Chain A
Amino acid sequence: MLQKTGRGLLALLLIVLEWTRPGLPTPLRPICDLRVLDHFIKEARDAEVAMKSCREGCSLSDSVTVPQTTVDFDVWEKKNALEQAQEVQSGLWLLQQALSLLRTSVTNTAMHSHIDNSIRNLLSINAVLRSLNIQEYTPPASTAGLEGTWRVSSATDLLQVHVNFLRGKVRLLLLDAQACQQDVS
C-alpha cells in the first residue's frame, strides 16, 4: 500500500513539475519577418504626417540629439555586423530619449497617442534585435560629442529622422542579420 502511495506521489510530482517547468529560460526565437518592422515604419510615418498637420502644442522644447540616417551603401557594406549593430542600437537609444522629451513637450493630446506608439515600437525593435542575438547596448553617460549624430530642434524633423532611421539602418540591419540568414539558407 505504501508502494502504491509512493507511486502516486511521484506521478503527481512529475505532473506538477511539468506544468511549472522550472529551468533555464529558452532562447528567443529570431524574428526575421520584416513585416513587423514594416508595421512600425507605417506607424512612424503616420505620426510624422500627423505632426506636419499639427498647428498648436506640437513643438519641441529643446533641441535633441538624433542619429544620422544617411546610408551610403558602399560605406555601409564596408562596416562589419558589429559596427552596424552598434550604430543601430545607439541610434535607437537616442531616439527613445528624444521621443520621451517630445512626449513631455507636446501638449496636443492627439499627438500623444502617436508618440506613445512610437516609443513602444522602439522598445519592440529592441526586443527584435535581442532575438537576433545582437548584444545589448550600453548607453553612454552623455550624448554630447557622439559620432554619427545630428541635432534637431523641431518636432517634425525629429519624427522625420525617426522614420528615416527605421526605414534605413534598422531595416538593413535586420535584413542582414546573421540569425535570419541561416534560416533562409
Chain B
Amino acid sequence: MTCDHLSRVFALYVVFCALRAASIVQAARDFEKKVSILMKEDSENPKCYAEGRKDFTCFWVEDEERAGSVDQYSFTYTYQNENSSRCPLRAVPAAGGKRLFICHLNRTQMFVQMDIQVRREGILIHNRSLLIELVFLLDPPANVTVSSTGKQGQLNVSWVPPPLKYMDDSMMYEVSYAMADSHVGQVEVARASSELILRGLQPGTKYKVRVRVKLDGISYNGYWSAWSDPVFIETLPAEFDPLIMSLTLIISFILIVLSLTMLLSHRRFLTKKIWPTIPTPDSKFQGLFTVYGGDFEEWLGQTNGGLWLTPALFYSEECPSPLEVLSELSLCPSLPSPTLPPKISRSLIADRKKDEDVKKGLDEREPAERGNSALMEGWRATTHDHWLMDRLRALHQHPVPCSQSSLLESQDTYVTLSGNNHVEDEHLDDILEEALPLEVLFASRKTMLCESHSDLGSVQQSSGSGRLSSQSSFEYPNHVWMPKGPGYTYMAVADSGVSMDYSPMSRADDIGKVVIYANDYKNEIPAHRRPFLPRQHPVHDDG
C-alpha cells in the first residue's frame, strides 16, 4: 500500500514537472516573440514593456564579444519624486551571437514618470524616461473561435480578451482574415468587445482568421501583440439566389426574342450568305435530270446531242472488238472525205466494245477509258457503222499511197474496227501482231503531237497509260498504214477535236501525275505532255 501511495505521488510529481517544463518552454517561446516584436517596434534602449498590471520587463542586446559579465552592468530606475532603485539583471544568450540583458520588475507604479539608467562599470550606456502604462505588450488573445452565423458570406469570430482588470474597455482588436491560399488579407478593427462578425466573404471558401490586441492609447497605450494562432474555417456554400436566377431568365428570354426577331426580319439575306445557290448545269441539259434521271446515255440517245460529243460512249456494254484507229493518210479527193459527223463518230465509238482477243488488254484499259481513249479501243459496230463501213471499204478498195504529207489537215482520226466475224485466225494473228487494238496512226505523229490541235494529245495520253497494248501506233511514225484486208472492218471516225470531258478524274494538274487518264480535250497539246512520247515505246514492248 505504501508502494502504491509512493508510486502515485511519484507519478503526480512527474506530471507536474512535465507541465511546468511545458509551461516554461511556452513562456520562453512567448518571450522570444515579444523580444522580436520590440526589436522592430522600439527604437530606444533599453527596450521595455509591461505585460500586465504589475509586470514590467526591460532588456537590451549586446554582441557576445563585447558584452561583459552581468556584474558589470547596473540597471537603475527612479519614479518621479522618489528615490531610485536597482533592478537585478540576468543574461540570456540570443540568436546571432548576441546576449540579452534582462531586468524584470514585479511591482510597478503607473501613471507616473519612470527614469531608467543603465550603467556599465559606472559609465552610463543607456538612458530612458517612460510611463509604464504606455508601453503595454500583451499576449495575443486566446481561444479564438470562428463559427458560421448561418447567413451567406458571414463568419462570427470570438476570442477571450487578455485577463487585465480595469483595461477591458481600453483594448482594441484587429481581426485579420484571408483566403487560405492567398497572402493578401483584410483587417477589421473591434474596440472593447470580444467578438466580431465578418461580412462580405465569398461562399464556399476556406478562410484563415487571426486576432491581435493592443491598448487603445487614451488611458493606456502599447504595441500590437503577436498574432494569435490562425484558425481555418470554410464559409457556407453558395446558395441558390432566386432573384438572380429569375433576372437571368428574364434577360436571356428578352435576348432570345430579340435575336429571333432579327433573324426573321433578315432571313433572306442570311440564307443567301449561309447557303449560297450553287449553280448546276441543269439548265444546259434540258431534261437530263428531270426526264431521264441523270442517265446521260438515254438522254443522248433521245436528244440531238448537238455540240456535245459523247465520251460517255464507253459505258456501253457490248462486246468489245478490236479497234484500229487510222489517221487519214490519204485524203484522196475522189474519196469521200471520211469526215464523219463528229457526233456520229462519237456515237459509233461509244457503241463499240473490244473483242475477246483484245479483251484482256482492253480490260486493262477499260478503266482507263476516258474521253478520246474511247477512240483507241475496240468497239462493236452498231447500226451506225454501216455507213462507216461503206466508207471504209471505199477507202480500202482504193488504197491511196499515203504519203507523209497525208496529214490530217482536217485533223480527223479514223478508227478501224476489226470484228470477230470477219477475222480469220491468221489474220487475227496479224491483227494481234501488228494491229492489235488501239493502233493509232498519225500521219506525222510528231508534228501532230507537237503541234496538234486536236484531241490527239489526249489520245496519246491514254495510250501512254500503259494500258494500251503495244499497238499504239506511235512506233509508226509517218508510216503509211494500209488497211489490212477485208477482214477488217473499218470505221472511220472523225474527231473534230472537240469533246467534253465527263470524267471526274480529269484535271489539268493530274495530267502530270496520272498518266493514264488523258481526258482533257484540248486543241493544243501542252508542252509538258511531250515527255509522254518516249514512254510509249516501252509500252509497246510490253504489249
**Cβ of B107 and Cβ of A72 under 8 Å apart?**
yes
**Cβ of B53 and Cβ of A69 under 8 Å apart?**
no
Given contacts A38-B219, A41-B219, contact A70 B53 (CB under 8 A): no
Query: Within the complex, what minimum Cβ distance (angstroms) separates A147 from chain B?
Result: 13
Most buried by B among A42, A71, A74: A71
Given contacts A42-B218, A164-B131, contact A69 B54 (CB under 8 A): no
Digitize A159-179: 1 where CB-to-B-CB distance is under 8 Å, 0 elsewhere. 010001101110110011000
Residues of A within 8 A of B79 (CB): 70
Query: Within the complex, what minimum Cβ distance (angstroms) separates B81 from chain A?
Result: 5
Residues of A within 8 A of B240 (CB): none
A19 at the B interface (CB under 8 A): no
Using CB atoms, name the residue of chain B closest to A69: B111
User: How far apart are the CA atoms of A172 and B219 in the complex, in Å?
Assistant: 10
User: How far apart are the CA atoms of A16 and B169 in the complex, in Å?
Assistant: 46
**Cβ of B111 and Cβ of A167 under 8 Å apart?**
yes
Query: Within the complex, what minimum Cβ distance (angstroms) separates B291 from chain A?
Result: 106
For window 117-169 of B, CB contacts with A under 8 Å fall at 131, 133, 165-166, 169
B110 at the A interface (CB under 8 A): yes
User: How far apart are the CA atoms of A154 and B107 in the complex, in Å?
Assistant: 29
**Cβ of B219 and Cβ of A167 under 8 Å apart?**
yes
For window 313-360 of B, CB contacts with A under 8 Å fall at none
Residues of B within 8 A of A167 (CB): 111, 133, 218-220
Query: Within the complex, what minimum Cβ distance (angstroms) separates B222 from chain A?
Result: 14
Given contacts A74-B54, A74-B107, A150-B81, contact A164 B112 (CB under 8 A): yes
A34 at the B interface (CB under 8 A): yes
Given contacts A38-B218, A38-B219, A167-B133, contact A70 B166 (CB under 8 A): no
Q: Which residues of B are at the interface with A, using a C-beta cutoff of 8 A?
A: 53-54, 79-81, 107-113, 131, 133, 165-166, 169, 218-220
Q: Which residues of A are at the interface with B, using a C-beta cutoff of 8 A?
A: 34, 38, 41-42, 68-74, 150, 160, 164-165, 167-169, 171-172, 175-176
A-B pairs, top 8 by smallest CB distance, nearest first, are A168-B111, A70-B112, A164-B111, A73-B53, A167-B219, A69-B111, A70-B109, A38-B218
* Besides A71-B109, A73-B110, A167-B218, 8 other A-B contacts (C-beta < 8 A): A68-B81, A68-B112, A150-B80, A160-B113, A167-B133, A167-B219, A169-B111, A175-B166
